[in-house]
A = this chain, B = another copy of it.
Amino acid sequence: MNVDVDLSPLRDYLEAEELDGYLIDDDASDSDQRYVSGFTAPDPYQTLVTQAGVHLLVSGLEYGRASTDASADSVTRRAAYDYQRLVAEHGQYEGKIRMLAAFLEDHGVGSVAVPRNFPTGTADGLREHGLAVTVEREGIVTDIRAVKTEWEVDQIRASQRANEAAMATAEELIATADVEDGILVRDGEPLTSEDVTEEIEITLLRHGCALDETIVACGADGADPHDRGSGPLEPDELIVVDIFPRDKETGYFADMTRTFARGDPGDEARRRYDVTRKAYEAALETVAAGVTGAEVHDVACDVIEDAGYATLRSDPDTETGFIHSTGHGVGLDIHEEPSVSPAGGELEPGHVISIEPGIYDPAVGGVRIEDLVVVTGDGYENLTDYRIGLEPTAGDRQ
């Protein structure tokens, strides 16, 4: 369990704004609530942070698990406020509002801050019952959880181990495929992006991870960083493999990208691979507490621009070259704070970020190389242990 959560910046905010509490009304898909409560449930539940503690309101079905699993100071079941009777008397909407108003009153809370995505239905309902509801606009909880505890870094590291196994599966499929009639072939059938994606997912499942999407993008597909790839893979083309699995138990993501080519992708593709690798190495060397994400991004842009390719810094309208940011935070969300982009602020020890420069052009294909690192006082620790190389190999990959 993530025991070292420090909510003091949130409590400082509440004190400064003279608000009694911070209320979240959401379900497991909200990472802020999962982080603050140390709990996850398929159905909506409520988390209240006061100066005195963290308080959960859950259904009877979830009460037992919440009492043992959650990192909360108190857990209350809805039945404590006669929820079913309130719904029968006042309907589902008003019944829920009355239950919440009673829960807040129980904790001496007359005014709450809420996250930007707090349900308007709940906010307006509470206001009708005389509670003051203020939107906390800066995302304080999101900033708090950008700095990982040791326990969290261990969870992300475990997800990256699963990711390495999945990447090895993909690399081996590409390395061992036959080449026939201009496509990669396995067991006499075309080897497609979809085939490799399926084997990646199965490998991740066997390591306790799931994922919504994977990128296995060949040739021109790989030149669009948002294209998931489809159809037969081809020799002599760049193949971008980007995997971002989530541990089904802990909820922590990992992220890694490698680019491979069977056969000869050509001199220009090789050059782009080398430049991307240099940008990746230069960006990594820059990472340290106190450096800004913007500075790290600038270093990657310097390398790529010096090699003669466009970046969004040199040309905001370019559709080729380095057309995304250098990295992003990774944790309970796949994209979270901090940003390694022109808007990126100061890096802190415990920030977990991806470093993933790339160069894209439909005429050549895409190159992207991505590792996941945790920021330390004087640099970083790489959470990724996977060989970098354009030519795919089977086995012995480290």
Residues of chain A touching chain B, judged by Cβ–Cβ distance below 8 Å, are 29, 42, 61, 93, 114-124, 133, 135, 137, 198, 201-202, 205-206, 210, 212-213, 226, 248
Our pick among B121, B122, B212 for the contact of A210 (Cβ within 8 Å) is B212
How far, in angstroms, from A114 to B210 measured CA to CA in the complex? 33
Chain B residues lying within 8 Å of A114, measured Cβ to Cβ, are 120
The answer to whether B123 and A123 have CB atoms under 8 Å apart is: yes
With A93-B137, A198-B205, A210-B210 in contact, is A119–B117 under 8 Å at CB? yes
Chain B residues lying within 8 Å of A210, measured Cβ to Cβ, are 210, 212
The answer to whether A118 and B120 have CB atoms under 8 Å apart is: yes
Our pick among B93, B133, B137, B248 for the contact of A116 (Cβ within 8 Å) is B93
Chain B residues lying within 8 Å of A248, measured Cβ to Cβ, are 212
Contact sample, A vs B, 9 pairs, CB 8 Å cutoff:
A42-B213, A93-B116, A93-B137, A116-B119, A116-B122, A120-B120, A124-B135, A198-B205, A201-B205
How far, in angstroms, from A43 to B248 measured CA to CA in the complex? 21
The answer to whether A119 and B121 have CB atoms under 8 Å apart is: no
How far, in angstroms, from A117 to B29 measured CA to CA in the complex? 13
How far, in angstroms, from A29 to B26 measured CA to CA in the complex? 12
How far, in angstroms, from A302 to B158 measured CA to CA in the complex? 51
How far, in angstroms, from A290 to B206 measured CA to CA in the complex? 47
Q: Which chain B residue shows the least CB distance to A206?
A: B198
How far, in angstroms, from A261 to B75 measured CA to CA in the complex? 37
Task: Beyond the given A120-B120, A198-B205, A201-B205, please list 8 additional residue pairs across the A-B interface where CB-CB is below 8 A.
Answer: A93-B116, A114-B120, A119-B120, A120-B123, A120-B135, A121-B135, A124-B135, A202-B202
